[in-house]
């Protein structure tokens, strides 16, 4: 058992978990939205002056993606915090394998949610730079999940996680009936 696996077994109090989530929340709920809704559109205006401006269609499509994405992201965090007795942060991981709630639809519902939400913000703001940045960051996140996190989860949860990997899709959810 690796040092990380031993360390991951440490259960933290709800108060400690909330305190750990505050800076992460600031990054994901303040910094990234500011980036995709303010900075990227400003860069588009300077670097791509002929790019399209936000309109009704971009606002509707973006709004739907933001709503669906935030739903999955926040639902995932709630389940990790309450049922998993952990956080989405690697330094305070869940104490057990989560396979219910949003985790029954895909193995990475928080990733799905954040990608959809940030893509929605970029579409709502009609920023090509924002959409491109979201896709690049999503690709990097998928690489991290595949190369680091899945190996750690397989080490921590063994055959249970490997069976979960076989049965549940990585990010693109299947409907309950299709599973």
pLDDT along the chain (179 residues), means of 10: 63 81 91 98 94 95 98 96 88 90 96 98 98 98 96 94 96 74
**Domain spanning 3-167, CATH class:** mainly alpha
CA dihedral 24, 20, 113, 107 (to 10 degrees): 130
CB neighbourhood size of 17 (10 A) = 17
Q: Report the chain's terminal Cα–Cα distance, integer Å.
A: 33
**pLDDT score, position 130:** 98
**pLDDT score, position 48:** 93
CB neighbourhood size of 132 (10 A) = 12
The candidate with the shortest Cα–Cα distance to 150, out of 90, 95, 101, is 90
**pLDDT score, position 88:** 86
52's tokens: 């399209």
Q: What is the pTM of this model?
A: 0.89
């Amino acid at each position: 058992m690796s040092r990380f696996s031993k360390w991951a077994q440490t259960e933290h109090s709800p108060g400690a978990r909330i305190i750990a989530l505050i800076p992460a929340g600031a990054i994901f709920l303040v910094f990234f939205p500011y980036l995709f809704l303010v900075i990227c559109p400003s860069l588009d205006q300077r670097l791509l002056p002929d790019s399209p401006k936000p309109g009704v269609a971009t606002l509707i499509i973006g709004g739907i993606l933001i709503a669906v994405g935030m739903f999955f992201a926040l639902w995932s965090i709630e389940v990790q915090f309450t049922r998993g007795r952990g956080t989405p942060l690697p330094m305070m991981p869940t104490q057990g394998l989560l396979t219910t709630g949003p985790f029954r639809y895909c193995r990475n519902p928080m990733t799905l949610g954040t990608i959809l939400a940030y893509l929605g913000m970029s579409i709502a703001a009609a920023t090509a730079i924002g959409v491109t940045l979201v896709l690049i960051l999503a690709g990097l996140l998928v690489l991290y999940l595949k190369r680091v996190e899945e190996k750690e989860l397989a080490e921590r949860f063994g055959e249970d996680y490997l069976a979960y990997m076989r049965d549940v899709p990585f990010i693109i959810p299947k409907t309950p009936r299709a599973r």
